[in-house]
Amino acid sequence: MMIYHVPKHRSKEAMLESAIVFNVQKFSLNDGPGIRTVVFLKGCPLRCGWCSNPESQRKTSEIEWDERSCDGCAASDGLASKVGFIKTGSRRGPDVIRLQIGDPRVDAALRDCPGLSVVGINRTTDDVLVECLQDEPFYEEGGGGVTLSGGEPLVWGHFCVELLDKLKARGIDTSMETTGHVPEKTFRAAIEHLDHIFMDLKQYDTRLHKRGTGVGNELILKNMAYAVSTGKDLLIRTPVIPGFNDSLADARGMARKLREIGVNKVQLLPFHNFGESKYELLGRDDYAFKGVPNTHPEDIEDFRQVYLDEGVDAFL
Amino acid sequence: MSDSHFGKLTDRMNSFRDQLLDTVPQIDVDRAMITTKVYQEQQDQPLAIKRAIMLKEILEQMPIFIEPETVIAGNQASKNRSAPIFPEYAMDWVIDELDQFENRDGDVFTITEENKEKLRSIYPFWKHNTLQDRGLAAFPPHSKLFYDLGIIKSEGNITSGDAHCAVNYEGLLKLGLKDYARRAQEKLDSLDLTDYRNIHKSYFYRAILIVVDAVKEFAGRYAALARQQATRCSQKGDERRAFELCGMAEALDHVPYEPARTLREAVQSVWLIHLTLQLESNGHSLSYGRMDQYLWPYYEDDLKTGRITSDEADELMCNLWLKTFTVNKVRPWSHTQFSAGSPLYQNVTVGGQKLVDGEARDATNPMSWLILKSVAQCHLTQPNLTVRYHENLPDDFMNECIEVVRCGFGMPAFNDDEVIIPSFIEKGVARDDAYNYSAIGCVETAVPGKWGYRCTGMSFLNFPKALLIAMNNGVDPQSGTKLVEGTGHFKDFTSFDQVMNCWDKVVREMCRQCVIIDATCDMVLEQDTADILCSCLTDDCIDRGLNMKEGGAVYDFISDLQVGIANLADSLAAMKKVVFEEKKVTPEELWDAMQANWQGEKNQHIRELMKAAPKYGNDNDYVDSLIRQAYDIYIDEMKKYHNTRYGRGPIGGIYYAGTSSISANVPQGAGTLATPDGRAAGEPLAEGCSPSHSADQHGPTAVFKSVSKLSTDDITGGVLLNQKVTPQVLSKMENRQKLALLTRAFFDKLHGYHVQYNVVSRDTLLDAQVHPEKHRDLIVRVAGYSAFFVVLFKATQDDIIERTEQAL
């Protein structure tokens, strides 16, 4: 397990919460009603082998290297000489642990090499708020607004609550995609400011859940049950992952678990490998689903039928 | 081909469509030969009479045919998709390119040796005797420099006619051409010819009588042909077609001379006039106006009385669009290579509002729906479909429009009532008329049947080139020609204010030169061409006794066109930030790097820095405020000038800004050196008001925000925005709704003028695999995940491409 240096993300002057934000995506589809801006926060307590956003996992800024854009220094040698941190010969990209943004050598390399880019920068709630408000004219019609996502946004619990509070103060619709694997207190504080919640049920069996994601599902289920009890607009989703949760027995188990906590609707997300290339950009070779073909909607029709038989409205 | 949402074309329309798409266009010489003969024989006649006789002779002598598939008659040339030659406008290029038409890289036209000979035989008569010859001779010498150096382009306007208008089809259908002839006759009879000005008017009235009669006879030729064919069909036992042809003949006996009585007659009448206007002059962007409004009464009546079913009406409209597609135009190669596909911009407008007892109401009707449907079914480049948007446009109609967008042929374009109507009223257009505006050609707008020609004006000003000249102390850096008095050289500038000052000085002078060139073109066109039928059908030409060019139209506002808005924005921002604020590059280094077209390692590095500066289209005030400031200088200057119709009758007679420069961004870019935004020499400029290619990195909402910061109320000539969307955005109903929401918000909240969506096709995705550098901004969206297409693995890309096919 790597140890990260997590700086104090709190600016002294304004006393604003801050967080590492790796993307603010405007006009994002599939993330709630209307036209939405999605704020992606960096860091996640889970390590799902199929994760398609590997850049979201670590809680610090990282450097990506896209060899194809790196015209001046196409070989890793060239990059190595610029950055001075590369394990030469391995073509594995930058060594994330030792690369420190702010180091003049790194900054110089970032400036010179179009193939290098930083993922994630430290931003305050006000800074992010201003960007979200740019699209305010688009939110009203159709009930759009802002969605917080990640990683796991509630890794930055104080930041989320502060930002959501500011958004609600302006009457903006709020939504969050959360794993639910966060302290109950944090979860409840955030939910208070949310209009819509998206959560995953990845496995009903906690042992298997731990094997696939690195954590058990007890805390997640507890938070999910709480979310149900608040009566807020909640959508549960299940990524259907080959060999992890895609058997018909898995479907039955998950459907029953959902009924148990009072959920009768679930969205199934077929597995896709679109994140694979990102692992390489980050210099990582730990993508667990290399070469596994994408699942298409028609492939999981039987799986879906099990839910329907169990009285859970599963849809794609 | 057609999306299943709209259903298929009928078999015969599908067959007609296939034939048209398979046709290799030919050069047609009939019109050229007839025109030459008339011009030779009628040299002594007043212009109006000569032009009327020309049209009469063309309509009498040109070959006509009725295709077995069609239910409306009327052809522009001896074969469909053939392009007539209009020698009176320009002839040098025709002769120069005679042997090249077949060898072009695109837009190939075939021509027989016999026809080449015919054209050569008439050339001596036209040498130094065309509009182009007189136009080139007429430019004041200093202004001609701007023209010759490609800074202000208006070549298309002295090599062809005006057009860019919609005539009064509503009046035509209600009154018939005979009423126009009656009014012209009455006016003629009451003229006091002791006043020489009335003698001039009498020519115009006599000319109208000639062309109305000629059009009546033209319809008569088709009626006779239809009867002949009916007899033949009958003999062959095809009674159904025989009956249909007899019906066509009866309609043609009646319209366009008489008022239309049925939808079929109305469509036949409109088509024959639209076609005749394309024979009278070779100006393009002849538009149908608000067709759903003027056709609906006939359709409604036919439905009530059972004269037509909705399926039959659908086929009739499809037939009209296929006919519309048969019209073709051949342009000089120098134009063609930048406007491939010989676009004619024949616009049809639907939707919008109407005034009922002074109250604005939604104007959509079943005809609006039928036009959407039939245009989608035809899925062609013509007509150009525009939807007038307003806040109360019904959701289901909006959704239907999005379904058309989804078909992936770039239509419809949306224009915003809430911006255009108030802007017209503010400029003096009567409220009733303002509510009746339509799109003309592409994005520009006018009141159909009441507006002068070419609301886009004549000249295209290349903004980035103007900037380079301003930075170079008024000297064109390409030719070394001193064009205007400058304010010093950029190399010596020490503050960004100096950049804005040099721009202010130079662009005002350029604007003045645009007006001079515009006025010269207008003057020569007025002296040399007169479009009698077009003027006859435009109010109040008959009342005033003036053709459109002389000031006959009720309104006459024109915009000139400004090209390269985004390049100007990005250039200013890059200079301000990189050179004057961060001081990473000196003015001299930047200027030298641009002159070297960014060649060399150091210059390449400078280019990267300039490219990395803030770009227009990202809702970034830093750059958006600069372009507003820079553009406003031009707009302010433009307001000072009048067009050639000022004070001669029309309301207006002035200029305003406009950006509907559709394809001019390509040739104007080809003639422009490297610019401070990092663009290399020769690369296309940005189109309309859209961001530079790949510069918008934050999606459509940010683009809309940036565009909305321009002075839209003053750019009445059109704020053109092309927005790219991937088919995936449109693949799910839920997301299609979001595109509708996005459009509504752009208009309702941000008061946008125009938008059209280009669905990125499968071909584009394939091209993005081969040339990722050209598609950096291409975003593909899948459930719960978005990515830049070009960074995905090949196999992933393939997968998406595969799905894209399914989605469409």
pTM value is 0.89
SS3 state of residue B493: coil
Higher pLDDT, B587 or B788: B587
Higher pLDDT, B757 or A50: A50
CA distances from B729 to A71, A275, B299, B735, B783 (A): 32, 20, 35, 6, 11
Q: Which residues, listed in sequence order, are joined to residue A147 by a DSSP beta bridge?
A: A38, A175
- Measured distance CA(B582)–CA(B590) in Å, rounded: 13
Distance from CA of residue B702 to its chain's centroid? 27
pLDDT tens digits along B282-318? 988 899 999 999 999 999 999 999 999 999 999 999 9
Question: Three-state SS across chain A?
Answer: CCCCCCCCCEECCCCEEEEEEEEEEEEECCCCCCCEEEEEECCCCCCCCCCCCHHHCCCCCEEEECHHHCCCCCCHHHHHHHHCCCCCCCCCCCCCCCCCCCCHHHHHHHHHCCCEEEECEEEEHHHHHHHHHCCHHHHCCCCCEEEEECCCHHHHHHHHHHHHHHHHHCCCEEEEEECCCCCHHHHHHHHCCCCEEEEECCCCCHHHHHHHHCCCCHHHHHHHHHHHHHCCEEEEEEEECCCCCCCHHHHHHHHHHHHHCCCCEEEEEECCCCCHHHHHHCCCCCCCCCCCCCCCHHHHHHHHHHHHHCCCEEEC
**pLDDT reading at B276 higher than 90:** yes
| pLDDT score for A175 | 96
**pLDDT reading at B373 higher than 90:** yes
Higher pLDDT, B3 or B234: B234
Closest Cβ opposite residue A141 in set B619, B745, B787: B745
Closest by CA to B473, choosing from B489, B495, B484, is B489
- Measured distance CA(B79)–CA(B111) in Å, rounded: 12
The token pair that represents A262 in the structure block: 């009072």
Using a CB-CB distance cutoff of 8 angstroms, which residues of chain B are in contact with residue A52? 785
SS3 state of residue B198: helix
**pLDDT reading at A187 higher than 50:** yes
- B478 burial level (CB within 10 Å; 0-12, 13-18, 19+): middle
Is the separation of the CB atoms in A144 and A33 below 8 Å? yes
SS3 state of residue B472: strand
- Measured distance CA(B402)–CA(B394) in Å, rounded: 13
SS3 state of residue B390: coil
pLDDT tens digits along A200-225? 999 999 999 999 999 999 999 999 99
Mutate to test the interface with A, among B606, B748, B782 (most CBs of A within 10 A): B782
Residues above pLDDT 70, as percent of chain A: 79
- Measured distance CA(B375)–CA(B378) in Å, rounded: 5
pLDDT tens digits along B164-210? 999 999 999 999 999 999 999 999 999 999 999 999 999 999 999 99
Does B750 sit within 8 Å of A137, measured CB to CB?
yes
Of the listed ranges A8-12, A139-143, B58-62, B92-96, the least confidently predicted one is A8-12
pLDDT tens digits along B438-454? 999 888 899 999 999 88
Using a CB-CB distance cutoff of 8 angstroms, which residues of chain B are in contact with residue A135? 701-702, 705
CA distances from B457 to B250, B466, B690, B717 (A): 41, 19, 20, 9
Chain position carrying tokens 């990524």: A239
| pLDDT score for B687 | 81
pLDDT-based confidence at residue A3 (cuts at 50, 70, 90):
very low
Average pLDDT of the residues in B451-465? 85
Is the separation of the CB atoms in B631 and B710 below 8 Å? yes
Please name the residue ranges forming H helices in B616-656.
621-638
**pLDDT reading at B104 higher than 60:** yes
Does A274 sit within 8 Å of B785, measured CB to CB?
yes
Chain position carrying tokens 């309309």: B688
| pLDDT score for B390 | 97
H or E element at residue B73: none
pLDDT-based confidence at residue B681 (cuts at 50, 70, 90):
very high
Q: Which residue of B has its CA nearest to A280?
A: B793
**pLDDT reading at B520 higher than 90:** yes
Dmax (CA) for chain A in angstroms is 61
Angle at A57 between CA A54 and CA A61, to 5 degrees: 100
CA distances from B746 to A141, B407, B751 (A): 11, 22, 6
Is the separation of the CB atoms in A222 and A186 below 8 Å? no
pLDDT tens digits along A149-172? 989 999 999 999 999 999 999 999
Does B791 sit within 8 Å of A281, measured CB to CB?
yes
Q: CB within 8 A of B678, min separation 6: which ones?
A: B570, B574, B598, B607, B608, B610, B611
Q: CB within 8 A of A212, min separation 6: which ones?
A: A48, A49, A202, A203, A241, A244, A245
Closest approach of B782 to chain A, Cα-based (Å): 8
SS3 state of residue B545: coil
| pLDDT score for A283 | 73
Is the separation of the CB atoms in B191 and B544 below 8 Å? no
Strands B83-84 and B384-389: unpaired
- Measured distance CA(B209)–CA(B711) in Å, rounded: 45
Using a CB-CB distance cutoff of 8 angstroms, which residues of chain B are in contact with residue A68? 772
| pLDDT score for A87 | 35
Average pLDDT of the residues in B119-144? 95
| pLDDT score for B609 | 93
Using a CB-CB distance cutoff of 8 angstroms, which residues of chain A are in contact with residue B619? 134
Mutate to test the interface with B, among A138, A140, A238 (most CBs of B within 10 A): A138
| pLDDT score for B765 | 82
Q: Which residue of B has its CA nearest to A268?
A: B783
**pLDDT reading at B806 higher than 70:** no
| pLDDT score for B339 | 54
Distance from CA of residue B335 to its chain's centroid? 15
Higher pLDDT, B360 or B151: B360
Closest approach of B222 to chain A, Cα-based (Å): 53
Does A134 sit within 8 Å of B619, measured CB to CB?
yes
Q: Which residue of B has its CA nearest to A138?
A: B745
Q: CB within 8 A of B229, min separation 6: which ones?
A: B66, B245
**pLDDT reading at B400 higher than 70:** yes
Mutate to test the interface with A, among B391, B738, B749, B785 (most CBs of A within 10 A): B738
Cis link prior to B540 (omega < 30° from 0)? yes
| pLDDT score for B661 | 66
Average pLDDT of the residues in B71-79? 96
Residues in chain A whose Cβ is within 8 Å of chain B = 25-31, 34-35, 52-53, 66, 68, 114, 134-135, 137-138, 140-142, 144, 237, 269-270, 272-278, 281, 294
**pLDDT reading at B784 higher than 60:** no
Using a CB-CB distance cutoff of 8 angstroms, which residues of chain B are in contact with residue A141? 741, 744-745, 748
With b for 16 or more beta-carbon neighbours within 10 A and e for fewer, the B765-790 pattern comes to beebeeebeebbbbbbbbbbebbebb
pLDDT-based confidence at residue A275 (cuts at 50, 70, 90):
confident
Cis link prior to B448 (omega < 30° from 0)? no
Does A66 sit within 8 Å of B781, measured CB to CB?
no
Higher pLDDT, B341 or A290: A290
Q: CB within 8 A of B297, min separation 6: which ones?
A: none
pLDDT tens digits along B528-560? 999 999 999 999 999 999 999 999 999 999 888
pLDDT-based confidence at residue B799 (cuts at 50, 70, 90):
low
Does B749 sit within 8 Å of A140, measured CB to CB?
yes
Amino acid at A250: D
Q: Count other C-beta atoms under 10 Å from residue B671's C-beta.
A: 15
Is the separation of the CB atoms in A58 and A42 below 8 Å? yes
Does A66 sit within 8 Å of B741, measured CB to CB?
no
Rg (CA), chain B: 27
Does B705 sit within 8 Å of A134, measured CB to CB?
yes
| pLDDT score for B283 | 85
| pLDDT score for B606 | 95
How many CA atoms does the CB half-sphere of A129 hold within 13 Å? 20
Question: Three-state SS across B21-37?
Answer: HHCCCEEECHHHHHHHH
Average pLDDT of the residues in B58-86? 96
| pLDDT score for B157 | 75
Using a CB-CB distance cutoff of 8 angstroms, which residues of chain B are in contact with residue A270? 783
Mean pLDDT score of chain B: 91
H or E element at residue B64: none
Q: Count other C-beta atoms under 10 Å from residue B527's C-beta.
A: 13
Residues in chain B whose Cβ is within 8 Å of chain A = 608, 619, 698-702, 704-705, 729, 734-735, 737-738, 741-742, 744-745, 748-750, 772, 781-787, 791-793, 796, 799
Chain position carrying tokens 């390049």: B567
| pLDDT score for A112 | 66
pLDDT-based confidence at residue A8 (cuts at 50, 70, 90):
very low
Is the separation of the CB atoms in B375 and B347 below 8 Å? no
- B357 burial level (CB within 10 Å; 0-12, 13-18, 19+): exposed
**pLDDT reading at B75 higher than 60:** yes
| pLDDT score for B741 | 92
Does A274 sit within 8 Å of B792, measured CB to CB?
yes
The token pair that represents B567 in the structure block: 């390049």
Using a CB-CB distance cutoff of 8 angstroms, which residues of chain A are in contact with residue B744? 141
Using a CB-CB distance cutoff of 8 angstroms, which residues of chain B are in contact with residue A274? 782, 785, 787, 792, 796
Rg (CA), chain A: 21
Higher pLDDT, B798 or A202: A202
Q: Which residues, listed in sequence order, are joined to residue A124 by a DSSP beta bridge?
A: A18
- Measured distance CA(A173)–CA(A209) in Å, rounded: 32
pLDDT-based confidence at residue B588 (cuts at 50, 70, 90):
very high
- Measured distance CA(A260)–CA(B436) in Å, rounded: 61
Is the separation of the CB atoms in B660 and B441 below 8 Å? yes
- Measured distance CA(B344)–CA(B321) in Å, rounded: 13
